[in-house]
């Protein structure tokens, strides 16, 4: 794709965004229903082209160029297509995120100020190998009234192209939906073109490594909402229910290891380590988990039949996205908090304990977008949070944090309703005062 072609697509999205912002929720939701139906009806073609992507990826896996985690994220099957369809239908049925009055205030008699939710405008996204991410992002953009530029990885090119065509054509069944609201770019070079179009794109949402997100941030003037690695921790506290902890820590690693909310480091307080670790290591070994541990963990497991490698300093900061886990014994709750804050990626952390007081100390002391008590890190997900879906998980703090759903794709606008009011009335010696009184009201 030439630079001119990329620019034309972005400019078309910008034009469409102005119209889409004024399409009512009934039409946007109808378009989502049409998209869900179309994906369901064309599932065989989607799975056929996905097979092409997976076959090519498996060849590169054999050559050592791809990881198993990437191949796993790439694969679609009937169950995944069912979940994609369900996700789009769920979004269609959610409340309209637009037009909500967030705040209303009387400034004076017949002078009322309203803060109202509106779309951001044009959102540019770059995402990894999961084809379902394309559908999630496009569907969230449509429901929230935003135009979207989609750039997926080359490893999913056939799947992305097929899903994009289905989405675009299905949405056009609804007359009110403007053409051009969704655009697909495929060339790697197109990313740099997009980064330079700050007058046309309102927000960039890259999903990938910290290095890639940093590259985007360093090479654009467009605001960036970054989704980076998930170096997530589970901490087994001295007051944990150890049977429950076995199940939660197992789920956090094994249930689906190829995603950013899977646990990468297990921390165990010293006082329960000798009782907890042998049983936990057995469970992980049965599941094929490679364990990398500190000296104290290896000493405890030395007489067991499990194989545990020596952890390096790099392991404490690594997102494996695979059946690999680092394990460390810590002296105290405070040591666990310090380890997480030093090595985590501010994604998702969990403490397993029966002490509400200790849980609260961990949850308030850890700097992360999501912090859980007695729950698997795998719950960090837009769908599970009831957001319908997510465009990504923001590990930053502005303007959205954690799973970014519909609300994270909106901003606001102020509307002032007056009756010939003039600023001069409220200035000078005889200036009238403002009332600044909040009230319940809709614009």
Asked if residue 16 and residue 54 are part of one domain, the reply reads yes
Give the CATH number of the domain where residue 276 resides: 3.40.309.10
Asked if residue 237 and residue 216 are part of one domain, the reply reads no
Asked if residue 242 and residue 159 are part of one domain, the reply reads no
pLDDT at 188: 86
What is the pTM (predicted TM-score) of this model? 0.87
In degrees, rounded to 5, the angle at the alpha carbon of residue 275 between the alpha carbons of residues 318 and 373 is: 55
User: What average pLDDT score do residues 307-321 get?
Assistant: 96
Distance of CA 391 to the CA centre of its chain: 5
Buried b (16+ CB within 10 A) or exposed e, 283-314: bbbeeebebbbbebbbebbeeeebebeebeee
Q: Is the pLDDT score of 226 beyond 80?
A: no
How is residue 36 annotated by DSSP? H
Residue range 325-339, pLDDT digits in tens? 999 999 999 999 999
- Compute the distance between CA of residue 418 and CA of residue 425 in angstroms, rounded to an integer: 13
Q: Which residue has the tokens 């304990």?
A: 353
Residue range 96-153, pLDDT digits in tens? 999 999 999 999 999 999 999 999 999 999 987 789 999 999 999 999 999 999 999 8
Q: Is the pLDDT score of 352 beyond 90?
A: yes
Asked if residue 356 and residue 217 are part of one domain, the reply reads no
| Among 111, 104, 159, CA closest to 443 | 104
Range of the domain at 217: 3-101+117-225+404-410
Residue range 256-293, pLDDT digits in tens? 998 899 999 999 999 999 999 999 999 999 999 999 99
Residue range 1-23, pLDDT digits in tens? 677 899 999 999 999 999 999 99
Q: How many structural domains does the chain have? A: 2
Whether residue 140 is contained in a domain is answered as: yes
Asked if residue 128 and residue 188 are part of one domain, the reply reads yes
Please report which confidence band the pLDDT of residue 44 belongs to, taking 50, 70 and 90 as the band edges.
Answer: very high
Phi-psi region of 281 (alpha: psi -120 to 50; beta: other; left: phi over 0): alpha
Whether residue 394 is contained in a domain is answered as: no
Cβ neighbours for 352, distance < 8 A, ≥ 6 positions apart = 234, 235, 236, 237, 240, 241, 244, 245, 248, 249, 374
Whether residue 438 is contained in a domain is answered as: no
Bridge partners (DSSP) of residue 207 are 227
Asked if residue 216 and residue 257 are part of one domain, the reply reads no
Six-digit token string for 73 = 């994220």
Residue 375 CB neighbour total at 10 angstroms: 17
Asked if residue 238 and residue 128 are part of one domain, the reply reads no
Q: Is the pLDDT score of 53 beyond 90?
A: yes
Q: How far is CA 17 from CA 141, 146, 291, 339, 396, in A?
A: 10, 6, 49, 44, 26
pLDDT at 400: 87
Q: What is the mean pLDDT of the chain?
A: 95
pLDDT at 150: 97
| Among 277, 266, 279, CA closest to 299 | 277
Please report which confidence band the pLDDT of residue 396 belongs to, taking 50, 70 and 90 as the band edges.
Answer: confident
Asked if residue 260 and residue 176 are part of one domain, the reply reads no
Whether residue 253 is contained in a domain is answered as: yes
Lowest mean pLDDT, pick from 82-91, 317-326, 360-369, 379-388: 379-388
Q: Is the pLDDT score of 373 beyond 70?
A: yes
| Among 253, 432, 238, CA closest to 325 | 253
Six-digit token string for 21 = 């912002």
Asked if residue 283 and residue 197 are part of one domain, the reply reads no
Whether residue 436 is contained in a domain is answered as: no
Whether residue 324 is contained in a domain is answered as: yes
Asked if residue 327 and residue 312 are part of one domain, the reply reads yes
pLDDT at 1: 61
User: What average pLDDT score do residues 397-413 get?
Assistant: 91
Whether residue 295 is contained in a domain is answered as: yes
pLDDT at 399: 84
User: What average pLDDT score do residues 179-196 get?
Assistant: 94
Asked if residue 181 and residue 61 are part of one domain, the reply reads yes
Bridge partners (DSSP) of residue 143 are none
């Amino acid at each position: 794709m030439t630079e001119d072609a990329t620019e034309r697509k972005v400019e078309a999205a910008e034009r469409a965004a102005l119209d889409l912002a004024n399409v009512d929720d009934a039409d946007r939701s109808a378009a989502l229903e049409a998209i869900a139906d179309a994906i369901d009806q064309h599932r065989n073609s989607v799975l056929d082209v996905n097979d092409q992507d997976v076959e090519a990826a498996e060849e590169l896996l054999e050559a050592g160029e791809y990881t198993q985690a990437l191949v796993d994220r790439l694969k679609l099957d009937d169950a995944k297509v069912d979940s994609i369809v369900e996700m789009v239908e769920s979004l269609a049925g959610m409340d309209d995120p637009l037009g909500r009055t967030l705040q209303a205030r009387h400034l004076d008699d017949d002078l009322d100020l309203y803060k109202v939710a509106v779309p951001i405008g044009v959102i540019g996204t770059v995402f990894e190998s999961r084809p379902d991410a394309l559908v999630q992002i496009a569907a969230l953009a449509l429901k929230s009234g935003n135009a979207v530029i989609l750039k997926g990885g080359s490893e999913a090119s056939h799947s992305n192209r097929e899903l994009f065509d289905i989405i675009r054509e299905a949405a056009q069944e609804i007359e009110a939906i403007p053409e051009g609201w969704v655009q697909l770019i495929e060339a790697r070079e197109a990313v740099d073109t997009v980064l330079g179009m700050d007058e046309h794109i309102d927000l960039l949402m890259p999903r990938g490594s910290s290095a890639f997100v940093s590259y985007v941030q360093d090479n654009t003037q467009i605001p960036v909402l970054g989704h980076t690695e998930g170096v997530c921790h589970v901490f087994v506290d001295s007051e944990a229910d150890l049977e429950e902890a076995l199940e939660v820590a197992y789920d956090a690693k094994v249930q689906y290891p190829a995603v950013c909310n899977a646990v990468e480091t297990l921390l165990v307080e010293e006082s329960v380590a000798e009782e907890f670790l042998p049983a936990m290591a057995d469970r992980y070994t049965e599941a094929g988990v490679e364990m990398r541990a500190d000296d104290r963990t290896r000493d405890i497991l030395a007489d067991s039949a499990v194989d545990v490698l020596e952890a390096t300093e790099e392991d404490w900061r690594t997102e494996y996205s695979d059946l690999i886990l680092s394990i460390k014994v810590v002296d105290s709750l405070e040591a666990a908090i310090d380890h997480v804050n030093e090595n985590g990626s501010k994604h998702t952390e969990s403490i397993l304990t029966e002490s509400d007081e200790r849980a609260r100390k961990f949850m308030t002391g850890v700097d992360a977008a999501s912090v859980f008590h007695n729950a698997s890190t795998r719950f960090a997900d837009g769908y599970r949070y009831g957001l319908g879906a997510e465009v990504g998980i923001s590990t930053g703090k502005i303007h959205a944090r954690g799973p970014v759903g519909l609300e994270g794709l909106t901003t606001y606008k102020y509307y002032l309703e007056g009756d010939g009011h003039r600023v001069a009335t409220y200035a000078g010696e005889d200036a009238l005062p403002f009332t600044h009184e909040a009230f319940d009201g809709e614009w």
